[in-house]
């Protein structure tokens, strides 16, 4: 019988002008080791969605389409999910996990105060939530202490983006090979 490890999820997305949005979800142990990873296929909003969602389109794509789908695919329970994109905070309305956005300390202070959600300053970062987020800063700090002794809180988001880029590079034929095929035809 294996022992269940405390785990923290990290979810983010990157935008590609040709393909749309790609999302990634990485679950780390409290030692910062990867336990699970999922990435999305590209999501390219169509013109009708752009018109209907207007200024809320990015929130909808990142939280409702990408974030919710990635968290639903996960096999491991997590104690919290961190994101580096405020648009993902809408996940707090869509899933049971504790959601917080990690930003450099002092970043968007006015926006953080205006959100009236929970706020925790931890090391060089601040974690913010929306009013719908019910996490308590003190409990959240205790939860993250082991992880931050092993991992910078922003570093897992770079791992996710690098993994998405690598997966995209492998699945997309190189532009030179496309040109070569066209020239040969």
Bridge partners, 21 (sequence order): 15, 43
Write down the pLDDT at residue 181: 35
Write down the pLDDT at residue 170: 67
Rounded to whole angstroms, what are the CA distances from 160 to 12, 25, 26, 76? Answer: 7, 7, 7, 17
Q: How much is the pTM?
A: 0.85
Cβ neighbours, 10 Å, residue 159: 18
Least confident piece of the model among 62-71, 90-99, 106-115, 156-165 = 106-115
Write down the pLDDT at residue 108: 65
Q: How far apart are CA 79 and CA 89, in angstroms?
A: 16
Write down the pLDDT at residue 177: 42
Which band of pLDDT confidence, cut at 50, 70 and 90, is reported for residue 180? very low
Is the pLDDT confidence value at 102 over 90? yes
Strands 119-122 and 99-104, sheet pairing: unpaired
Mean pLDDT of 114-127: 84
Mean pLDDT of 117-141: 87
Is the pLDDT confidence value at 4 over 70? no
Phi, psi of 55 (to 5 degrees): -70, -15
Task: Render pLDDT for 14-47 as a digit per residue (tens, 0 to 9).
Answer: 998 888 999 999 999 999 999 999 999 999 999 9
Q: How far apart are CA 20 and CA 127, in angstroms?
A: 27
Write down the pLDDT at residue 9: 97
């Amino acid at each position: 019988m294996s022992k269940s490890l405390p785990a923290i999820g990290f979810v983010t997305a990157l935008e590609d002008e040709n393909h749309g949005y790609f999302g990634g979800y990485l679950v780390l142990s409290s030692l910062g080791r990867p336990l699970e990873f999922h990435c999305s296929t590209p999501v390219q909003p169509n013109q009708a969605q752009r018109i209907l969602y207007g200024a809320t389109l990015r929130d909808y794509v990142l939280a409702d389409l990408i974030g919710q789908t990635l968290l639903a695919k996960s096999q491991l329970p997590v104690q919290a999910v961190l994101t580096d994109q405020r648009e993902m905070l809408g996940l707090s309305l869509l899933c049971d996990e504790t959601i917080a956005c990690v930003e450099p300390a002092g970043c968007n202070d006015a926006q953080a105060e205006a959100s009236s959600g929970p706020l925790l300053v931890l090391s060089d970062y601040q974690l913010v939530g929306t009013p719908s987020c019910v996490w308590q800063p003190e409990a959240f700090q205790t939860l993250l202490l082991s992880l931050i002794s092993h991992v910078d809180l922003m570093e897992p988001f770079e791992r996710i983006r690098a993994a998405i880029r690598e997966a995209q590079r492998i699945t997309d034929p190189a532009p030179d090979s496309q040109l070569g095929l066209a020239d040969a035809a």
